[in-house]
Structure 1
Amino acid sequence: MQYEVTSLNTKRLLAGSLRKFMREKSFSKITVSEICLDCGVNRKTFYYHFEDIYALLKWILDQEALKIFLDCGLHGDFKDTILFLLDYIDTNRQFLNSIYDSLGYDGLREFLYEDFIRLLSSIITNLEKQEGCLLEQNLRQFLCQFYAGALSGILKDFLKARHPGSHKDIQERISFTLETSLLSLIREKGKKVS
């Protein structure tokens, strides 16, 4: 147990250093050596915990937002998850813009894509249960990919302040679109479960 706490503390120390440097310069200009020096750890320690600086960044995103919003999405109302995500973007706009500016839209999307797929899969599962239907696996996979791309685009526009409306307005639009279109698809294409 003590080792796990120490390991988590080391990861948090490295994450804090990366975040600090990202306030000062572009993500692509930050090196593992700088992070290690800042934290007072050697490179072996860094590489013991993370494959590279991108893995550290992914860990930060998972720890700070995606794990929480996935837990909300998997166990609660996905509308709350969307609102949480919008709030997270607002609170961490500088950090996320630094990632976006360094990696581009595709790079940022790549970090978030699998988590969006899991969120959408949980939304579909909940709606299937509600309707007593199951979608064919290929259609389910297509819908997850389709809506993950749409959600990524909407959130990118929100990040870049190009999306009009309040958090509540955006949340309601996303939720309404997901719920009505997915329910319609499930009712039309789903196989009744007995």
Structure 2
Amino acid sequence: MQYEVTSLNTKRLLAGSLRKFMREKSFSKITVSEICLDCGVNRKTFYYHFEDIYALLKWILDQEASIIFENCDLHGDFKEIILYILNYIDANRQFLNSIYDSLGYDGLREFLREDFIYLLSSIISMLEKQERYYLEPDFHQFLCQFYAGALSGILKDFLTELHPKSHEEIQERISQTLETSLLSLIRAKGTKVS
């Protein structure tokens, strides 16, 4: 148990350093050596915990996604989840834009892909249970990937401020689109369970 706490604290220390440097310069200009020097750890410690600086960044994003999922009821009203994500983007705009500037849209989308798929899978499962229809696993996965791409595009526009709409308006549009289309697809393609 003590080792797990120490390991988590080391990861958090490294993550805090990376975030600090990302406020000062582009992600692509940050080195493992700088992070290690800033944290007072050696490179061996860094590489014990992370394969490279991208793995550290992915860990940060995964940790923050898990906080989003913990703070939102994934089996309740998913409008709340969307608003929470929009607020998260606003609160972390500089950090996320630094990633976007260094990795481009495809890079940022790839980092967030698994989290969006998990989110959408939870929403689809909630709707399946609510409607008492169940999709074939392959189609369920296809819908997760399809909507993850659409959602990441909308959120990228919001991040880069190409979306001049309010949080509530974006939240309403995304929610209506997801709910209406997913319910229709579940009812049309799903198998009714008695």
Report TM bin, short chain.
over 0.9
C-alpha distance in structure 2 between counterparts of 1:70 and 1:76, whole Å: 12
Deviation of 1:7 after TM superposition, in Å, equals: 1.2
Q: Does 1:54 align with 2:54?
A: yes
Match of 1:171 in 2: 171
Q: Do 1:73 and 1:123's aligned partners in 2 also have CA atoms closer than 8 Å? A: no
Cα displacement (A) at 1:74: 3.1
Following superposition, the deviation at residue 181 of structure 1 comes to 0.5
Give, in whole Å, the separation in 2 of the partners of 1:105 and 1:146.
Answer: 16
State the distance in 1 between where 2:58 and 2:77 align. Answer: 25
> 1:73 deviation in Å?
5.2
Counterpart residue number, 1:44: 44
Query: How many percent of aligned residue pairs carry the same amino acid?
Result: 83
Q: How many residue pairs align between the two structures?
A: 193
Long gaps (5+) in structure 2: none
Aligned to 2:67: 68
Please state whether the residue corresponding to 1:41 is helix, strand or coil.
coil
TM-score by length of 2: 0.96
Contact 1:14 1:39 in 2 (8 A): yes
Q: Is 1:15 aligned with 2:15?
A: yes
Q: State which drifts further: 71-80 or 176-185.
A: 71-80
Shift of 1:130: 0.8
Contact persistence 2:75–2:126 (CA under 8 A): no
- 5 Å-filtered alignment, 1:105-124, equals 105-124=105-124
- Provide the aligned C-alpha RMSD in A: 1.1
Letter of the structure 2 residue corresponding to residue 129 of structure 1: K
Give the AA of the match of 2:66.
K
Question: Which amino acid in the other structure matches residue 166 of structure 2?
Answer: S
SS at match of 1:148: helix
Once residues 80 and 92 of structure 2 are traced to their aligned partners in structure 1, the CA distance between those partners, rounded to angstroms, is 18
Deviation at residue 5 of structure 1 after TM alignment? 1.6
Secondary structure in structure 2 of the residue aligned to 1:74: coil
Q: How far is 1:75 from its partner?
A: 4.2
Query: Greater shift after overlay, 73-82 or 133-142?
Result: 73-82
Aligned to 2:79: 79
* Shift of residue 77, structure 1, vs aligned partner: 2.6
CA contact (8 A) 2:27 2:102 kept: yes
Tell me how far 1:105 sits from its aligned partner: 0.3
Consecutive unaligned residues in structure 1, runs of 5 or more: none
So what's the TM-score if we normalise by structure 1?
0.96
Helix, strand or coil for the counterpart of 1:23? helix
**Deviation string for 1:52-100 (max 9, x for gaps)?**
1011101111112x11223325344321111111001000100000000
Partner Cα distance (1:77, 1:116) in 2: 16
How far does residue 107 in structure 1 lie from its aligned partner after superposition? 0.3
Letter in 2 for 1:98: S
Contact 2:74 2:81 in 1 (8 A): no
For the residues of structure 1 that align with 2:75 and 2:46, how far apart are their CA atoms? 34
Segment drifting more, 111-120 vs 68-77: 68-77
Amino acid of the residue matched to residue 171 of structure 1?
Q
